[in-house]
Structure 1
Amino acid sequence: MSVPLGWLLRRPELRLKVLAGTRHQEREVTWAHSIELADPSPWLGGGELVLTTGLRLPEDPQARHDYVRRLADAGVAAVGFGVGLSHGRVPAELIEAAEEAGLPLLEVPLRTPFVAVTKAVMERLAEQQYEGVVQASRIQPRMTRAALAGGAQAVVRELAVSSGTHVAFLDSEGRVRACHPPDAAVPALDEVTGQGPAVRAAASVSSGPDGVVAVQQVQVGPRAHGRLVLVADRPLTAVDHLLLGHAASLVALEAEKPVRVRDEQRRLNGTILRLLLEGTIASQAARDHLVEAGFPSRDGVRVLALEDGSPRGTLAAVGEALDERGLPLFGAVLDGAVVVLLPAGHAATAQAVVSELADRQKARPAAGLSAVHELGDGPAALAEALSALSAARARGGADVVHFASLAGQVLVTEPHTRAVLESLSVARLGPLAAYDDANDTELLASLRAFLEHNGQWEAASAHLGVHRHTLRARMTRVQTLVAADLESAHVRAELLLALTVWQGSGAGGDPPTPPAASA
């Protein structure tokens, strides 16, 4: 706690007058101290307003300069010189020396007792202390509610926002488990995280060019769960330390929380997710719950759908992977798939989670990811994720399939429509495949080029590397074999869909078996 020097100067009842160092009135006074020693510097700690009547002030001008220099070197905030007792006015040498040293020098009139100045400083410090207690009493309940709703990540966020600092929770191995702001680069924090396992000191504070760093051990009895680190670009206040200690206690409680309590929280989150994806919960109510849980949803959300042999086990593994990234789990098992809510900017997280599951289970699960949606678009996001999951199944569980990458392929990925199209492809394309096999022709390839080039003879023939008359002859044969009019847009669309499935089946497995060619 400290009192700005300018605040004291604005107190009319003190009648203080600045004689030197007028450009340094922003200095902070930590205490007001009356002392008449010839050299008081050994008894000063810095930040004091030194009050003196000059009773022991030397007569020699150089000695008076040295007196001021020693006070400046001791780090005092200012000097208040009382006139009317030993000196009728402040000596000119003191004013000159104070101006040279950049040390504020105040004239204290005879009718202003030193005790009045000291009392003003003490009362203001007491007011600040009380204001700090009130401020902390308002913040602590918010931190507690955040802990109940969102665990360590929510506590870290609340502490960082309330104090205007950077905060991180490091586990016992020195890994960052939660931080806020999530993407801020803080050199001082990098130094702490590089220290590895948690140190034994319960609490420590250090300062350097990159800021002030306070470290609080997160511990319950003999069990240390890590460290809570707060990095600020200003000196820390008593309120900062009080909130840091409270946050460390809440994080420790979260670390000690029984598994069944944590599972209950996840079940509640899963219920919220189901309601959100069904569209039966107001988006604002869902957003409030997400915010309290420490889930960033301001920029929208994505839905990740995974399929594995053990949905419940997969859901638990996803929860552990998200915990390591400081994200709460909002997941549920729907339609035999594990469905998980992710923030908009975490597409890479989806891929990382699937990769970790593959490493743990020795098999890569099929996974589909929706586009970014507002909270009110839950049903649409779920439908997209499940469509992308269907495509992932067809591809044999490769990398996460993004719904946005399925343009022109959605019908192919849906099981029911795919079954219809596969039947169509056998009926329409089977005769062409059989003819090609029997006669060493390229009717299927020619039909594909013709359709994909929108019936443009020159473009399609150039793609195939044949003359357009050759292509025309082939298409006449195709029209005969499929028994349909290729001039019809409906026929062309039907054949193109059949070709898409035929090609898709070839990419993901064996193509539909065409009927044998007739003699």
Structure 2
Amino acid sequence: MAGREDTDRQRGTRPGANPAWARELLEHLRPAGRDVHRVVAWLAGAVEGSVALRDAAGNLVAGTRLPLDEDLVTDIAAGRIASAAWQTGEEHLRLVRVEHPTDACVLAVSRPAPFDRRASDVVTHTAQVIELLLTAHDSAAAGHRLRRATSDLRLAILQLLMVEDTVAARRVAAGLWPGLLDADTACVYVVESDPAARDRIVEDCLDHTRENALVVRCPAMDGHVIVVGPRETTGDALKALVGRHRDTYLGGSVRQSLARTATAYGQAVSALAVAHVRPDKTAVYTERTHPERLMDPAALRTWTARLLRPLDTLPHHTRAELLATSRLGLEFTAVAAAKVLGVSRNTVRARMERVESLLGTDFTDLTVRAVVLLALNTQIGLADVPPASDTRAAGPHLADLLSGPALRTWAQDLLGRLDADARNPRRTLRAWIAAGGNAERAAQTLGVHAQTVREHVRSAEPLLERQLLAAGSDLYEVVLAHLAVGDLELPHLQPRT
């Protein structure tokens, strides 16, 4: 006849029983408690001993290091022995093999008292829980690595498009997203959100576009997601997404060729600024009258070919790299261009300095930047317009391009919007441009405070409907307007022959 203590012990170990230690162990499988270190620490307390979890190489994964028979540990890790138990001095030890997707581990437990049935069960079941946790961790880590690799691949494709290497971009994309870049044109969108919510926005963008668009975490702006959408449905899908998220905005470009992805990106960023004041939080870039469209296409193409001719002696890939980097560096900043292209800012500056040297000019001059960007955009936008057969011969000069009646009328109308302001912001803006966008130097020229210069420039932005303090195409259009009406001197360029 069994005593009460024996009866309780039998009840605690009979099939279907649910002892307290088992419930505690199962708690470690909940999402909030999945930590191998916590499980090993719990086991040490449950058996009133010391525990060590070691990998196949003998490294301590969790717990405290114990003096063990290394040959025996090796046999268990290799699978030649499933488990082992022995006594040394006053310590009782037990070793159990823990399966692992790559290399098995060994769970070692040491305690002063012998291993009774309860302690043995605790060790056995804990080994099973650790096995599940290690497997889950490896699966999660593999999934994370796959998502990271996919994200990096999308960024690499975008960077290839930014430097106009559409052939390589299509080749890279074809491996994972067949047909994604088969179209010749696409719209570029920028979704802006709180940086903390960007990963969720990326997943939503992928879901809404059904992976029929290139979705990239912007490397330059933490809260931006760039989407290159060759298909017409992408814009509507992203608008629906923005409508469901608070504090999320969408800017989109007009449809451009894939080779003009950098231009389309600039348009999307410009539209994003407008989206912030729209009730639906979305805006698409509005095609306005750009100065280059008021110039004779053939003359503009010929002038561009002659200006950029010093780069024609370079290998094709080097020339394309220099032109694309300079276009981004002039449109944005060297730092932003570096992040978008995936290179260092020193690399961007070195490439732009090389272009400066070949063109015999200085990019610190805003008029130079405006004129060179005009040529770089013409080189892409009017690629189908043939230049004169001999670009060395005398042809149209910059003054000829800027003296056309249509362009002068556009420039006078644009700058004339500033004339009604009694503070004379037009004079301030002219001095500010001549000073390379430096408010302090412009203030010395005008005899006013630098803050006054900044206020005048800022007040001119809504009148001109262009961003001026953020260097880019908006500012360069205003610079070209000043050159067209003769308010600024033409820049000095001496390309190498």
State whether TM-score is above 0.5. no
Query: TM-score, structure 2 length as denominator?
Result: 0.29
Greater share of strand: 1
Identify the structure with bigger relative contact order (alpha carbons < 8 Å, sequence gap 6+). 2
- Please report the TM-score for the alignment, with normalisation by the length of structure 1: 0.28
Structure exhibiting the larger radius of gyration computed from Cα positions: 1
